[in-house]
Amino acid sequence: MKTQITTRRLLIFAISAVVLFYLYACINALGVAAPDDLARAATFEAVFWILAASAGASLLIDKAPGSLVKTLLVIILFVFVFEITIANRAHYNNIWSGDKAGLSYNFMKQELSQYGADISMQGISYYPEYESFVGEGDNLSVTFGGLDRSVGSIYIEPNFDIITDENFKLMQYQVIFSDKDMTSKGTPANNLVRNLPESNHAEINPMGAVSSLTITFSGTVIFKSITLNAVIPLSVYTLRILILTLIAFAIYLLVTRDFSVLLFDNKSVRQNLGFLTLIVLLAAISLFITASASVTEENSAFAYPYDYMVDALQEGRLNLDMNIPEALKTMENPYDFSARSALGIPYFADQGNGALEFWDDAFYNGKVYMQHGIVPVVLMYLPYHILTGNYLPNAVAISFFTIAAGIFLMLLWRAISVKFLNKMPYVFFMCGAAAVYCCSLITVNLHMLRKYEMSSAAGIMFVALGMYLLFQAVFKKENLSYVRLGFSAFSLALSVGCRPSMLLSSVILVVLLLPTIIKSGKKTAITTIAVTIVPYIVVAIPLMLYNYFRFDSIFEFGGSYIISTPSLMALKQVNPAGKFLMLLQGVRDNIFAPLSLLDIFPFVNGSTVTRGFEYPSVFYNGVAGIINFPVMWLLCTILIAFRKLKEVSPELRRVLIALPITAICIAGIASAMVGMAFRYQVDYMWMFALAALICAYFVWERFENKALITKLLSSAFVISALPCLLIPSESGGMIFKPEIYYYLSRVFSLY
């Protein structure tokens, strides 16, 4: 039943809006001089959510008939009340625990002796030309002694404006105080964040009056004033309201709706629009992650080799134009990290306009070569530079490849669903599409926009495109499509030119086509083999020549000559038993290694499992075992799906087994050859995810209570997908720009 708009409801809405706005304005003005200052509360965010909450209040008061719109508006009402009360607890706590006389200490140079407080500074001086206090070092502090007053908050007014370096965005500080309990207490380390005014406030919770209070700083600090007992503003975070509203609304739908009724129909315009909307939403989230990345071309020397490779190709050479220390050229073994360090050879050569690190680039015969794939340079970076005269930003290339990879994986899931799993509920299909996008871990490449993530993003895009075209070639029509098959093979071959390890993904192509080739006639078999092999040859010949002209070997991509630590050259000294042990450890960790759970944003981090660094070539920088994702647990039912597919599709049956086996092999080989990192998992996590979704369908099919199993499986898909968006390219470190990171931290910490 639709909710009708009547004059009575409009009147109740208007009254509700006035009452809520006045209530919000009064709450917002608590502790300030003018409690009736409505302009202080009239921000766009506040007014918008007050109006939405008022609509919910009017429908609730008037007892309007139930509908999804009414439910949503009522939820917004309760979420808004939660937002301005519990979520802003520091606003109220500060008022009730602050100085009852309303006094505050404004720490300016001309006021040092006022208020009877003993104020002292260490390592900080006042600079009149900046009208600011400035300090630099590790032992910086401002101390308020002899207070004997109630203190509930600290306000520090930073002066970022005089800092010309845009990368300078944080000033770290900590508050330490003594109270009536006569014990020293302190807050966690905090940061003043550029362009985030909320970070200027800090809440403290003393036991009684504070006798002394010290604010310690580290690094560089520049501030205009420090105020005690300044009112912490009431903050309305739209993102938090949206998230809580969506969670509450999703729970309501789970409880009240039967999602098994609406089946997936690939010909439905409305369902296809819903699928397109999901693609746009995931692409938008990916672009947000890219725009918020903490490591970019501006602050990392690991981002530049593609630009230098563009210059090299235009000048008719294959080596990177770098200033190489002479000592490195004359070393007997330039790959020995200890020997390089002893000679004082740095990690990178300064190029004036930025440091191009030849760390993890190849050094051979006195020249430096790009060790990462050439295909992105030829297909994107070089054409862009020729057309525009500018260098293509990594952010553009990596986000394009990542989003494209996600879309092709979703289309692959859709193609399989249309052909073989067409009885599934629409919600099951949509949640599965989101899971295959996120659980493939492709978004880990968006957090750090470097050469490593570039090659990974490009490689997985070509693999995803190749697999989608492969399934379309084999299953779209009764007869094999040679055009799609040829482009599929070409795309899979290009992935090798991005990351050589991607070659193992072609096992799926062999598994899918080999029985067809064997059973078909001689002419068909020869045609199929030719259409498959020729694209690989077309790509392989230029790649082999590229390798030969650089390293005198058609099979050497540069991994044997990289400047790194530990050196991959040392891997040759490990005996076969040791390499096999490393392989087994890699398989173990990729299955069972747990993610570290945090009680603060982003809530997940790299695995705490360590490999012990048994061999010098081991590289460990975080890994997420598939056990972390509920959707992957369904791989335990793979035998059920295997038996069912015997009747449905022998071809898909073989692929179902090949997917996880190939993924395990890639994981083990990568661990034995290089090591482990989240970005390495991008090569194969999509295989686990797709196989798990196929298994999930046959689990759903076996249950009689379709409504319940649909809700359980769909929820498992979503729960698996969400953490994947927050997993970084490498374990530890900040995954967003400081202002974004601390904004999100406040959104999710209810402060």
Q: What is the DSSP letter of 361?
A: S
Tell me the pLDDT tens digit for each residue of 635-681.
999 988 888 888 888 888 889 999 999 999 998 888 877 778 888 89
Please report which confidence band the pLDDT of residue 102 belongs to, taking 50, 70 and 90 as the band edges: very low
Say how many C-beta atoms besides its own lie within 10 A of residue 14's C-beta.
12
Mean pLDDT of 245-249: 92
For residues 434 and 466, is the Cβ–Cβ distance under 8 A? no
Alpha-carbon distance of 603 to 122, in angstroms, equals 36
Q: Does the pLDDT of residue 298 top 60, yes or no?
A: no
Res 503 pLDDT > 60: yes
pLDDT at 111 over 50: no
**Cβ–Cβ under 8 Å, residues 277 and 434:** no
Instruction: Determine the average pLDDT of the residues in 96-112.
Output: 45
Gap between the Cα atoms of 62 and 9, Å rounded:
7
Is the model's pLDDT at 115 over the cut of 80? no
Position 85 scores a pLDDT of 83
Q: What pLDDT does 14 receive?
A: 78
Residue 614 has pLDDT above 50, yes or no: no
Q: Which residue has the tokens 């289309």?
A: 411
Q: Kindly tell me if the per-residue pLDDT of 175 is higher than 70.
A: yes
CA atoms within 13 A on the CB side of 723: 20
* Residues linked to residue 219 through DSSP beta bridges, in sequence order: 137
The larger pLDDT score, comparing residue 477 to residue 492, is at: 492
Place of tokens 């300016």: 108
373: left (phi over 0), alpha (psi -120 to 50) or beta: beta
Q: Is 253 helix (H, G, I), strand (E, B) or coil?
A: helix
User: Is the pLDDT score of 322 beyond 80?
Assistant: no
More confident residue, 182 or 71: 71
pLDDT of the residue at 636:
92
Model pLDDT, residue 4? 60
How many CB atoms are located within 10 Å of the residue 280 CB?
A: 10
Cis? peptide before 602, omega within 30° of 0: yes
Once rounded to an integer, what is the mean pLDDT over residues 602-613? 61
Distances in Å between the alpha carbon of 550 and those of 306, 569, 734?
16, 17, 37
- Quote the pLDDT of residue 58: 73
Tokens of 573: 């000294």
pLDDT at residue 24 is higher than 50 = yes
Neighbour tally for 713: CB within 10 Å: 25
Share of the chain above pLDDT 90, in %: 37
Angle (CA) 131-135-141 rounded to 5° is: 110
Reduced to 3 states (helix: H, G, I; strand: E, B; else coil), residue 423 is coil
Report which of residues 164 and 401 the model is more confident about: 401
> 502: closest CA among 663, 309, 306, 617?
663
Which stretch of DSSP H or E encloses residue 287? helix 269-291
Q: Is pLDDT larger for residue 273 or for residue 581?
A: 273
Q: What is the mean pLDDT of residues 205-219?
A: 87
pLDDT of residue 449: 85
* pLDDT higher than 60, residue 59: yes
HSE at residue 293, side-chain half, CA atoms within 13 A, is 28
Please provide the DSSP assignment of 689-717 as one string. Answer: HHHHHHHHHHHHHH-S-HHHHHHHHHHHH
Asked if 720 and 632 touch (Cβ cutoff 8 Å), the reply is yes
pLDDT at residue 159 tops 80: yes
Average the pLDDT over 189-216 and give the result.
Answer: 87
DSSP string covering 393-448, please? PHHHHHHHHHHHHHHHHHHHHHHHHHHH-TTSBHHHHHHHHHHHHHHTTGGGGGSB
Q: What interhelical angle do 482-496 and 507-519 show, nearest 10?
A: 150
**Tens digit of each residue's pLDDT (9 = 90 or more) over 1-13:** 455 666 766 777 7
- Overall average pLDDT of the 111-139 stretch: 77
Handedness of CA 659, 665, 668, 672 (dihedral sign): negative
User: What does the pLDDT read at residue 96?
Assistant: 60
Judge whether residue 584 has pLDDT over 70: yes
Token pair for 560? 């044997």
Q: pLDDT category, 113, cuts 50, 70, 90?
A: very low
Helix runs in 315-381, H state only: 326-330, 337-342, 375-376
Q: Are 357 and 347 in contact (CB under 8 A)?
A: yes
Does residue 239 carry a pLDDT above 80? Answer: yes
Predicted pLDDT of residue 351: 40
The closest of 461, 469, 450, 468 to 497, measured between CA atoms, is 461
SS3 label, residue 225: strand
What CA–CA distance (Å, rounded) separates 641 from 416? 14
Pairing of β 619-621 and β 675-677: parallel
Cα–Cα distance between 184 and 210 in angstroms, integer? 10
Given pLDDT bands bounded at 50, 70 and 90, which one contains residue 568? low
Q: Which of 661, 572, 655 is nearest to 616 (CA)?
A: 572
Structure tokens at 745: 């931290």
> Tens digits of per-residue pLDDT, 342-351?
777 765 544 4
3-state secondary structure 537-602: HHHHHHHHHHHHHHHCCCCCCCHHHEECCCCHHHHHHCCHHHHHHHHHHHHHHHHHCCEEECCCCC
The Cα–Cα gap between 83 and 240 comes to 8
Q: Is residue 185 a contact partner of residue 222, using CB atoms and an 8 Å limit?
A: no
Q: What is the CA radius of gyration of the chain?
A: 30
Please tell me which residue, 160 or 44, carries the higher pLDDT value: 160
What is the rounded average pLDDT for all residues in the chain? 83
CA–CA–CA angle 42, 47, 49 (5° rounding): 145
| Range from 242-256, 319-333, 421-435 carrying the lowest mean pLDDT | 319-333
pLDDT band at 301 (very low <50, low <70, confident <90, very high): low
Return the pLDDT at 173. 93
Indicate if the pLDDT at residue 112 is higher than 60: no
End-to-end CA, the chain: 39
Q: CA separation (Å) from 681 to 442, 468, 665?
A: 9, 20, 12
Least Cα distance to 91 among 226, 239, 208, 201 occurs for 201
> Which of the residue ranges 127-136, 180-189, 525-534, 629-638 would you say has the lowest mean pLDDT?
180-189
- pTM of the entire structure? 0.88
